[in-house]
């Protein structure tokens, strides 16, 4: 787990927000705070926090709507912290994608414990081993280095990120939209030709072309898949 978790608190009431930021900070978290849904959404995309604490009663957009918007683009852990204590509210909040739901008033100690519980479960997430091996391709995450048949590949940062993303999902088809949002960190953009260009360069460095693929198989209409070459 990360030494210090980066939290984002989205809460409009200063009487709650300010002391809560202080309390969470004292408990060893790095805390950012926003007071509207739109600013919270923006901060979420910019900062990529480890966890979001979300109030439902926001001035501009209802928190449930914001939650659904966030869930459309990210799987960041989200804890709902709100005054709405109705049973159906809790169910709706959790089903909309919330990881936990605490009702005001709550103590900082309990919120902190719930934060730690959620982070513990979400943390390792998609088990990211140090080095991913696909066929004769090795991708070393920590060293940010990839080798093919034992010889190092000279990759640019984006190329490595792209290769790492694909290697972590080896055997599965990945859409270019997913690549764009996850690797390029853009919420939604039409210009996915950039991905094509980088794929092309990656292919060249892998010693293959789109028409004679070894590792990067394009699945027309869907995306690309990284899988070991057919030995025949």
Partner DNA sequence: GGGGGACTTAAGGCCGGGTTAAGGGCCGGG
Partner DNA sequence: CCCGGCCCTTAACCCGGCCTTAAGTCCCCC
Burial class (CB in 10 A: 0-12, 13-18, 19+), 230: exposed
Q: How far is the CB of 177 from DNA (least distance, A)?
A: 10
Residue 96 is encoded by which pair of tokens? 């909309």
Crossing angle of helices 87-95 and 63-73, rounded to 10°: 20
Q: Is the peptide bond before 105 cis (omega within 30 degrees of 0)?
A: yes
| Contact between 50 and a copy of itself per CB under 8 A | no
Q: How far is the CB of 100 from DNA (least distance, A)?
A: 35
Mapped onto helix, strand or coil, the DSSP state of residue 169 is coil
Give how far Cα 137 sits from Cα of 55, 114, 147, Å.
45, 40, 6
| Contact between 191 and DNA per CB under 7 A | yes
Residue with tokens 């300010």: 18
- Structural contact between residues 14 and 34, judged by C-beta atoms closer than 8 angstroms: no
Write out the binding residues for a copy of itself, residues 113-142 only, by CB under 8 A: 113-114, 116-118, 121-122, 126-127, 142
Nearer residue to a copy of itself within complex by CB, 46 or 120: 120
Residue from the set 20, 33, 43, 199 that interacts with DNA by CB under 7 A: 199
| Contact between 203 and DNA per CB under 7 A | yes
Residue 16 is encoded by which pair of tokens? 């709650």
Select from 3, 166, 131, 8 the least CA-distant residue to 74.
8
Q: How far is the CB of 107 from a copy of itself (least distance, A)?
A: 5
Residue from the set 116, 173, 184, 228 that interacts with DNA by CB under 7 A: 184
Q: How far is the CB of 193 from DNA (least distance, A)?
A: 5
Q: Which helix (H) or strand (E) segment is 162 a member of? A: helix 157-168
21-29, 48-56, 104-112, 200-208 -> range binding a copy of itself (CB under 8 A):
104-112
Q: Which residues bind a copy of itself (CB under 8 A)?
A: 77, 87-88, 90-91, 94-95, 98-101, 107, 109-110, 112-114, 116-118, 121-122, 126-127, 142-145, 152, 156-157, 171-173, 219-222, 225, 227, 230
């Amino acid at each position: 787990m990360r030494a210090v978790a980066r939290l984002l608190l989205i809460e409009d009431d200063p009487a709650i927000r300010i002391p809560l930021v202080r309390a969470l900070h004292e408990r060893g978290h790095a805390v950012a705070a926003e007071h509207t849904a739109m600013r919270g959404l923006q901060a979420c995309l910019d900062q990529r926090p480890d966890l979001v604490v979300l109030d439902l009663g926001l001035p501009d957009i209802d928190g449930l709507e914001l939650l659904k918007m966030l869930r459309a683009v990210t799987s960041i852990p989200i804890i709902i912290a709100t005054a709405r204590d109705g049973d159906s509210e809790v169910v709706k909040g959790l089903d909309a994608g919330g990881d936990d739901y605490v009702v005001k008033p709550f103590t900082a100690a309990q919120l902190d414990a719930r934060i730690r519980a959620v982070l513990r479960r979400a943390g390792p997430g998609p088990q990211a081993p140090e080095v991913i091996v696909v066929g004769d391709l090795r991708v070393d995450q920590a060293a940010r280095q990839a080798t093919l048949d034992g010889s190092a590949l000279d990759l640019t940062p984006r190329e490595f990120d792209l290769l790492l993303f694909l290697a972590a999902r080896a055997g599965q088809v990945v859409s270019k939209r997913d690549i764009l949002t996850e690797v390029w960190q853009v919420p939604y953009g039409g210009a996915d030709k950039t991905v094509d260009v980088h794929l092309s360069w990656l292919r060249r460095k892998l010693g293959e072309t789109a028409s004679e693929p070894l590792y990067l198989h394009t699945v027309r209409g869907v995306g690309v898949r990284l899988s070991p070459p057919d030995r025949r």
